[in-house]
Amino acid sequence: MILDLFSTGRLLGLFFVTAIAELLGCYLPLLWLTGRVYASYGAVYIATALAWLAVVDGVKPLWTDYLGVGLALLGAACIGLGHRPA
């Protein structure tokens, strides 16, 4: 019982640290760029999640997965390239 509580507490602690790291990873570039970082971050996150699925989980992505990632990255590129500083 105590071991289970320790393991659960450790797991929740790791989730908390990971959440903070992810928030900082989004917020710091936002401060630096003061712009459309979240759109680009979302596309990169999707691509990374698909790569994780293939490499770590061993699930072969479908052509629709690649299409979706390509569209997300293309959308992020359009947003980034279309940005004109004020």
Same domain flag for 80 and 51: yes
In tens, the pLDDT along 22-63 reads 878 777 776 766 676 666 778 888 899 999 999 999 999 999
Same domain flag for 41 and 72: yes
Tally of domains in the chain: 2
Structure tokens belonging to residue 69: 């990632």
Per-residue confidence at 85, pLDDT binned at 50, 70, 90? low
Give pLDDT, residue 62: 96
- Mean pLDDT on 50-79: 93
Same domain flag for 22 and 56: no
Q: Residue 67: what residue type?
A: L
CB 15 within 8 A of CB 22: no
Q: Mean pLDDT score of the chain, rounded to an integer? A: 83
Angle, vertex CA 57, rays to CA 23 and CA 65, nearest 5:
75
Domain range enclosing 24: 1-34
Asked if pLDDT for residue 84 goes beyond 80, the answer is no
